[in-house]
Structure 1
Amino acid sequence: MPSTPSRTTLTRELHLASLVHRLERQRRTWEARSTLGTAELRLLWLLTEGEPRTLREIAERLHLEQSTVNRQVNAAVKAGHVRKSRAPGSAFLFEPTPAGRAQLEEDTAYALGQFRVVLDRLGPDDAAHLLELLGRFVDLYGEAVDETETGRP
């Protein structure tokens, strides 16, 4: 198991930052091994939730600029993961192709499988405790970030 800096040499904040950094590095390793990039994964996840969507709807749901979404959607269309259609007199609509759905399922199954392995290794009690604490941490961190959104103290 990789070592982490000694808890006695780091403040709690630095220790947490170190752990989050390691987790992010590991997430990037997983992403590099995945067929879909983060942007395409988020796009396909959204598009599999229901009806075909316009660029504007996608941008609103993903909280991104429409120009960014346009670039990402066109890349997904070119890759064969998303199809574009248009009814006469209406905006273009985008939905996942069967290949896009299959790739999303494959990449998601792999990631969830890795989480399952780790949670199983922790055991049921530690896994439940981790999920409870992590959920609370994410909620509280979100509140703290929202409180400071207007600027630094």
Structure 2
Amino acid sequence: MAARRLLEDYELGLHMRLAGYRVTHVADTWVTQKALPYTRRFLTQRTRWAQGNIQCVRYTGRIVGSRHYKAAGVLESLYTFCQPLAHLATLVLTVFLLVALVTGSAVPVAFWPLALTLAVLSIAPFVLWGPVYRREFAPDRSRLTGLLWGFAL
């Protein structure tokens, strides 16, 4: 089946996993690419990425019901689908909180649980990357090193 979404590679990966193929990390290869030289092109790329994630939400039911996805894979896919909306919500909330801070306005107590939740959802995956990477690809390194890698990221 041909990919029809803006994230062709991600959608093809979803099709492969749903068909039962094993998708794995290859540690001894790399991809090189140049940074986009203009802000407009960068924003266009990020916008297409966000739209592509949202387009792939249609696979949610198939992923959740698939015997080829473990619980961690289902959670990772759902997180990926939600990232654009979470980033937008975080941006709006950050602007709101900064304006309140600069103007000295009181922030309604109801916003703090939302702010904390968005902060955890935005930061936790990066912090967790370090220990997961250490476990999978550098088991000779200490757990503290893995945790520090996550915080550095």
TM-score normalised by structure 2 residue count: 0.34
Q: Which has the larger radius of gyration?
A: 1
